[in-house]
Chains A and B, each alone.
Chain A
Amino acid sequence: MALYREQGIVLRTYKLGETDRILSLLTPGRGKVRAVAKGVRRPGSRFGGRLEPYSHVDLQLYEGRNLDIVAQAELITSFTAVREDFALSACAAVMVEAADRVAQEQERSTRLVLLVLDGLRALARHPEYPGVVLDAYLLRLASLAGYHPDLEACAGCGVPGRHRVFSIAAGGILCRACAPTGSRPLDAGVVALLAALAGRDWDALAVAAAEPRLRRAASALVNSFLTYHLGQPLRAWQLVPR
């Protein structure tokens, strides 16, 4: 069996047999990899706590017919603090669920890996507003997957401006001329908030945490946008405390 090495993020795990787990991993070189970690559920397993979801690990894997097998795992970042806080863990669950949806097997995924790591690090650094970090992550993920939301100019004709009609199907905001008749404009604050979430640096998102009413409206739009483009709602999203 061929042995290979990849640095990956554990997206999620499934119990297998008495003591094993199947891991769904996101790797830069091979995209989504499914691998078995033998004995990992036994206390005192040599993998210990290294292969829990959200862990960033350096792995040696044996290539298998259906599933690869983890030969060795070294920890790069554990993100323990994210796992030990319910709100952070719920946000991280949405992050990995969304990444799992857009990732493909056998497809280079360096940018996606970096985005997930950025998202997890931002959660760990800003535990006071995990929902904001999550929304910023989801907008970036949409862009990476080819559904960049237009938030600075009309998605129909390109005329610049913070237009206030948002159309999920059109892929962003629409000017008066392009908006279908009767469409309800958003609060200007929501459009500004969405643009800030999509465009600002991870550490400059605090401003976006401001008004709960605008936050909820923006979150709901981000979720609808992702659901539309991913084809199915994100299951973990419902459980994020808001």
Chain B
Amino acid sequence: MYEGPVQDLVEELGRLPGVGPKSAQRLAFHLLTVDSADAERLAASILAVKERVRFCVRCCNVSEFDECRVCRDPRRDPRVLCVVEEPRDVVALERTGEFRGRYHVLGGAISPIDGVGPDDLNIKPLLARLADEDVAEVVLATNPNVEGEATASYLGRLLKTLGVRVSRIASGLPVGGDLEYADEVTLGRAFAGRREV
């Protein structure tokens, strides 16, 4: 245990995701050695996100304004919605340059074992959008893991009753990899999702 402010900093850092007690100490001692100006910039940017960043009223992504950059962009196709778990998934998809529609950010995934159900996610705002906006297709881009699949299955069933086309992103082999090293689950999915050439 350290004295006063150092201990406070170690404890605060230790509450961040993925930071254990050892890393928290290392980070705290690093911060002790940096210039005051650097430390102030870090502190200011933490305060700035808390003050300035909110959630887009339309898609629930993080945004500096009422509507995020994608929702404000008139060149984006409003008829296709891509549903993702987290804001960082939007960033990952934007990097591909493949998708020209808009997004909807759920803020997580259904996880029964953690007690996280549909009501804990931004599903009601999604249904409201489908009622208001002229959406023809919803692409479910939740993670291909147990929580993401449960969420996709739940949404798929729910949205199909609304008469909207629902699709699920393909999952399969990583580009550049060798087929023989793929695990059976991934390979099986790749096979099930094969397409005509």
Residue pair A235, B115 in contact (C-beta under 8 Å): yes
Min CB distance B16 to A, Å, is: 12
Residue pair A44, B113 in contact (C-beta under 8 Å): no
Within 8 A of A (CB), among B138-174: 144-146, 149-150, 152-154, 157, 174
Give A235's nearest chain B residue, CB to CB. B115
Residue pair B188, A80 in contact (C-beta under 8 Å): yes
Q: Give every chain B residue within 8 A of A240 (Cβ-Cβ).
A: 112
Give A54's nearest chain B residue, CB to CB. B146
Residue pair A49, B186 in contact (C-beta under 8 Å): yes
Give B17's nearest chain A residue, CB to CB. A15
- Interface residue B185 (Cβ < 8 Å from any Cβ of A): yes
- Interface residue B110 (Cβ < 8 Å from any Cβ of A): yes
Residue pair B185, A94 in contact (C-beta under 8 Å): no
Q: Give every chain A residue within 8 A of B17 (Cβ-Cβ).
A: 15
A75 to B187, CA, bound (A): 13
Cross-interface CB contact of A97 among B113, B153, B157, B185, cutoff 8 Å: B113
Q: Give every chain B residue within 8 A of A53 (Cβ-Cβ).
A: 113, 146
A78 to B149, CA, bound (A): 14
Q: Give every chain B residue within 8 A of A52 (Cβ-Cβ).
A: 145-146, 185
Q: Give every chain A residue within 8 A of B112 (Cβ-Cβ).
A: 89-90, 93-94, 235-236, 239-240
Give A236's nearest chain B residue, CB to CB. B112
Which 3 residue pairs across A and B have the least CB separation, nearest first?
A48-B183, A49-B185, A236-B112
Residue pair A85, B185 in contact (C-beta under 8 Å): no
- Interface residue A182 (Cβ < 8 Å from any Cβ of B): no
A94 to B113, CA, bound (A): 7
Binding site for A on B (CB under 8 A): 17-18, 110-115, 117, 144-146, 149-150, 152-154, 157, 174, 177, 181-186, 188-189
Give B119's nearest chain A residue, CB to CB. A239
Cross-interface CB contact of B185 among A13, A43, A50, A90, cutoff 8 Å: A50
Q: Give every chain B residue within 8 A of A110 (Cβ-Cβ).
A: none
Min CB distance B179 to A, Å, is: 12
Cross-interface CB contact of B110 among A54, A86, A94, cutoff 8 Å: A86
Q: Give every chain B residue within 8 A of A49 (Cβ-Cβ).
A: 144, 183, 185-186, 189
Residue pair A239, B149 in contact (C-beta under 8 Å): no
Residue pair B185, A17 in contact (C-beta under 8 Å): no
Q: Give every chain A residue within 8 A of B184 (Cβ-Cβ).
A: 48, 50, 75, 78
- Interface residue A84 (Cβ < 8 Å from any Cβ of B): yes
Residue pair B115, A86 in contact (C-beta under 8 Å): no
Cross-interface CB contact of B149 among A47, A48, A89, A94, cutoff 8 Å: A89
Q: Give every chain A residue within 8 A of B114 (Cβ-Cβ).
A: 235
Min CB distance A34 to B, Å, is: 16
* Binary per-residue interface labels of chain A (6-17) against chain B in the complex, 1 for a CB within 8 Å, 0 otherwise: 000000110111
